[in-house]
Chain A
Amino acid sequence: MQNKPRDNIFMIKIEQLHKSYPIGKESLHVLKGINLEVKEGEFVSIMGSSGSGKSTMLNIIGLLDDHDKGKYTLDGELIQSMDEVKGAKLRNKFLGFVFQSFNLIAYKNAWENVALPLYYKGVGRKERKIKAMEYLDKVGLKPWANHLPNELSGGQKQRVAIARALVTEPKVILADEPTGALDSETSDSVMKLLRGINDEGMTIVVITHEHDIAELTDRIVLLKDGQILSDEHTSTYNNKIKK
């Protein structure tokens, strides 16, 4: 039993995925047959121009949206169109989200924001606080635990958001333009933080349209008009492998 081979060597496996949005009577075909495989522990970036379907793809991976056609397997579990309750449970268990505009709850302080996913997981308050503090410490913000989001800088907010994404110990971190609202210096430090997390084995998928940022990941998937144009390892990865 212990040595049962993992048939799900892919954390994320997408085959011939299609997604359209109805626009009035018309239908906007956004994703046109995507094939993507992400192994556990990979650090992948998705690039592409605005409107190329990056967010749509990430939303489907993140179980925030349904796909129309094709097969999507998350950690070996085939995802079919599902009800919202099951979606919520799976998100809570498997996925951590990081957004461009941080999306912290304005009236909750840093540790309360971090602790929120644990509340929906059913973790008790005491343990929530301990966990939240632990992850705030991990992103270097323990001294800021009692500050409200509007008392934090952009970089600090994004660190809080990352701590929040990590706190449930998910399988995958999904980040939609996490550095989009940050200056380049702060962006680099946020990417460093993500790299550190990835080094501990976390699978991470990041959307970005900045090549510099994408180069800091291991692999770049380039999207154009709803199709994958290229899928290559970065020089960062190649350098790492050579060592």
Chain B
Amino acid sequence: MLDITNLHATVAGKPILNGVSLHVPAGEVHAIMGPNGSGKSTLAYLLAGRPGYEATEGGATFDGRDLLAMEAHERAAAGLFLGFQYPVEIPGISYLQFLRESLNSQRRARAEEELSAAEFIKLAKAQAQLLGMDTEMLKRPVNVGFSGGEKKRAEMVQMGIMSPRFAVLDETDSGLDIDALKAVGAGINRIMRAPDKGVLLITHYQRLLDYVEPDKVHVLYRGEIVRSGGPELSHELERQGYAEAAA
């Protein structure tokens, strides 16, 4: 499903990723753990197509297609979703309008029928309710005045609405209290646990992994994957810290 091969990347003239290789087959959830500054968000941005984040060597394919050759919106239409570490505020545009236009733009790109306003509102409300988000918040401007936790929950509502084939979730667990963490964990399992879907779960805490059990865990350290293993690796990291695991 997602294949990353020897990926190198430089951001603002500084090498950040130094040869990352990773294979996430359909039906699996892989966790990436690593200390602050190790390049986790850089990897996420690169996969989602943020301008200014470019590979200097190596590449990535998504279902065999050259992912890095596609524009950000084409990647979304192909079924890739990025859950942002820092969700962005857009004043003047309601969540409902933002998501309806986004989803319909994806659907047009896939030659699918667009959703009517009524169909969309029904879908959005249902997803908000499943994630425990007040549906009135969908009428507010995108993320404006939302708390950190509300923004993260809203990212998961967006994921529920888009129903992507592959999700890269960048520290979706940070800033969540225990109830929100449970809701988000359950949301990830409900939306993304399927034989034809995959997840790259970026986190630096074990706690989300108690709710979303990964098939594999990788340690990203100074721009390289220094170890890979099963779910037990995350417990080891929790006990020992990254430096030791990297040694």
A and B held together in a complex:
no
Residues of B participating in the A interface, judged by any CB pair closer than 8 Å: none
